Amino acid sequence: MLSLAEVGLVLFGVFLVYQLFISRTRKNFPPGPRGYPIIGNLFDMPSGDEVFVWAKWRERWGPLNSVTTLGQTIVVANSYQKAIELCDKKSSIYSERAPMPMAGELVGWKENLAFRPYGKEFRYGRRVYHQEFGNNVSLEKFQPAQDTEACKFLKNLLDKPTDFIKLSAGIAGAMSMRTAYGYEKVDLDFITLVNRVMDTAGVAAAPNSFMVNMVPWLLNIPSWFPGAGFKKIAAKWRHELLTMNQIPWDFVKSQVAAGTALDSFSSRLLREVKSAEDENYIKWLAAGILVGGTDTSYGTILSFFLAMVHNPEVQRKAQAEIDAVVGTDRLPTYADRPHLPYVESLKKEIYRCFVVGPLGIPHMSNADDVHDGYFIPKGAILFTNIWLIAHDPDVYTRPMDFYPERYLGPNPQQDPMDFAFGFGRRICPGRYLADAAVWITMAKLLAAFNVLPPVKNGKSYIPPIEMTPGLVSHPKDFDAIVVPRSVKAVALINASVDQ
């Protein structure tokens, strides 16, 4: 009788023979690096800095590229136009979500709407999100809470300016927790857990991070089997994910039961729950707001601080606009937003220069397709290189420069909102909510504080711009000096939290 190891070797041999057959019948796929029999482009797949490797592919082979690894076709849209052609204009084909053995099956992210397959449950969740915050009218109910949290952030920053990195994570988490669950006081340790869960999600979802992502049948091997250490890692990450989901859910349930719940996404929907299945689904929708808004908004707010250190003249121009429009006797509110075009442009340039979702979550084709004369098979994984789209020299003048003026005047360059939150039917449903939170935070920061270069050995210096890898990217830790602009600014900050 064959041992498990021998059975595994036999199955792997059959798999290799099948892949050899497939590799010999390769069709006219989009161009890319030439692979090898059986393994295809296994050694061409980057294990980090994918966006830069794929940018080089575009230089050589054009804006639509592909590779095949162990029989899995991976397509990369390396321009905005190709991303729109596939994800938007052919959304009936490219709206499926690729199976993610490590992240989805083992860690448990398959319950999150962003990872769910396209179908009835996915469409229902999108509809719920759209009703809650899918347009400017529906957003108005969230604005008072966002304004309050932004004022708390200013006060915390006034008290502990050297903690701006930790406090940036706190404001992003506080706004998400207030929106999703009605939390008024957020534990920074919990926000640390949220950010850790998102970091591990990015690692788990990366194609080359674990062999199981390239050879899905490894899901079936027992956890004690040699080479199955990934299952122990997944179990730990799954526990953290479920803990993160459950803690705020238990809070809002107890508040609703006691009749003391603040108005929130969860409290409104909990009153309509009719079954345990409904409750579990809504719990995951609420968690989607938490994870979707916390880590990405944190990355954007932290990017703002780094951008101001590097671009003091931009900071001065934005502050001058606020002083001229709002004055110095109050802090900006949402009502001021239409009258602050330079601040709006600054925010757009943060989105473009500091891409927090450089690859997004990959789409998948649900049918064979021919595009631009190239064959894309059913089951192909589609990445959109959002970082390259944001730095495309064919679209943006001096794309590596931080230049908010590019969005002003009679011929503005492309608005990063067109791509920063994804494409097609998979575009982030909370993009307007997140954008509003980022804007009010930046506007109040500019009105109240100066962000200056740090000092070392008596001399100021400019810290490097270094971004973390992963599903969500944000600046690596850096130093900066954050000081109130004036005595009057200090008074405004204190008054804003005493109201």
d(CA 445, CA 153): 9
Rounded to the nearest integer, the mean pLDDT of the chain is 91
pLDDT over threshold 60, residue 2:
no
For residue 349, which phi and psi values (nearest 5 degrees)?
-70, -30
DSSP code for 104: I
Q: In the beta sheet, which residues pair with residue 198?
A: none
Residue 6 confidence (pLDDT): 40
Judged against a pLDDT cut of 60, whether residue 22 lies above it is answered with no
At 252-272, the pLDDT tens digits run 999 999 999 999 999 999 988
Q: pLDDT at position 26, please?
A: 52
Average pLDDT (404-409) is 98
The predicted pLDDT at position 342 comes to 99
Q: According to the model, what pLDDT value does residue 37 have?
A: 80
Q: State the amino acid at position 52 in one-letter form.
A: F
Residues 394-419: what's their mean pLDDT?
Answer: 98
- pTM, 2 dp: 0.90
pLDDT at 376: 98
Query: Does the annotation flag 428 for ligand binding?
Result: yes
The domain locations on the chain are 4-498
Indicate the CATH number for domain 4-498. 1.10.630.10
**Among 320, 318, 323, which residue's Cα sits nearest to residue 342?**
318
Whether 191 contacts 173, CB under 8 Å: yes
The pLDDT of residue 4 is above 90 = no
Between 138-142, 278-282, 313-317, the lowest mean confidence (pLDDT) is in 138-142
Give the CA radius of gyration of the chain.
24
pLDDT in tens, 430-469: 999 999 999 999 999 999 999 999 999 999 999 999 999 8
Number of C-beta neighbours around residue 415 at 10 A: 14
pLDDT given for residue 163 in this prediction:
96
Which DSSP helix (H) or strand (E) runs through 499?
A: none
Cα 376 to Cα 379: distance, rounded to the nearest angstrom: 9
Q: What is the pLDDT of residues 311-339, one digit of tens each?
A: 999 999 999 999 999 999 999 999 999 99
The pLDDT tens digits of the residues spanning 66-97 come to: 999 888 899 999 999 999 999 999 999 999 99
Predicted local confidence at residue 23, as pLDDT: 46
What pLDDT band is residue 25 in, cutting at 50, 70 and 90?
very low
